[in-house]
Structure 1
Amino acid sequence: MSALTVEDRLLLTDLVHRYAVLVDGWDAAGVAGLFLEDGVLVSPDPPQTLDPVVEHRGRAGVERAIAPITTLGTSVHAITGTVLDVGEAPGTARGRVTCSAHHLTRRGDTWHDVTWVVRYRDDYRRTDEAWRFARRSASLSFLESRTVRAVREGPAFG
């Protein structure tokens, strides 16, 4: 196995950050396009479990999984760490990514921020076009809820 090139690292970092930006932009189809045709997104089911337990298969499944983001007032995903390693097969890589995901909703006149501290385990595959997610598995370290004073509503980067 050879090491990841600097270019591969930059492209994989862009993929990870593009995922966050597209989620915050409420672009579920765009997020799904970052996955291989047969890619898998595995999500937790909070507050019942913080472990990755719900599988969403294929781009259509990923799109359905991301679509509920539009029911929020807004969201902000902040990547806090990324570690990338060469995969077991040529043209593959693995990643460990940490993220704080703020999900803002209004209850009456009060805005609430439910923050998920997420740890992603990623498997990536290089295609002729770009690096894509083969599998992205999200577990939560913890959930936090608090009120906030003001919110700019709607999709970010929209």
Structure 2
Amino acid sequence: MNALAIPAEFFPMNERDLDAVAALEASLQVFPWSRGNFADSLESGYSVWVLRLGGDLIGFSVVMSVLDEAHLLNIGVCKRYQGQGYGARLLRHAMECARLGGAGKLFLEVRPSNERAVELYRHFGFHQIALRKGYYPAVVGREDALIFDKELA
């Protein structure tokens, strides 16, 4: 059975997911969030979700909301499933959760070198509003961050 025939489902992230989410993050990033970062997000009451295909965890998202604004802090899809629409589903779900939570706007940062993500965000109507110099650690020096936002209402 191919992956598209198996329904992908969203579940609130819980403590039992932390090791798998941290391992997925480590497989995606040179400078990954730690298990502790994800645990802190859970404890802080952020909107944290996992995407499962069958029983396999294939993606996650972390959104922090403050008053009427939300911030997409982290999002990732297993490399094996990238390019198949799961990132778009995760982003759409994160936006909807933020909107239902009362946010009128969603912000995010992205590395300019992450061209796939930049393209995805632009496809969903995000607009670059700023550039944050030297925001991300890089193998050599630091990398800038593109700051994007999108109206959710």
TM-score greater than 0.5 by the shorter chain = no
Q: TM-score range by the shorter chain?
A: 0.3 to 0.5
Report which of the two has the higher share of helix.
Answer: 2
TM-score by length of 2: 0.32
TM-score by length of 1: 0.32
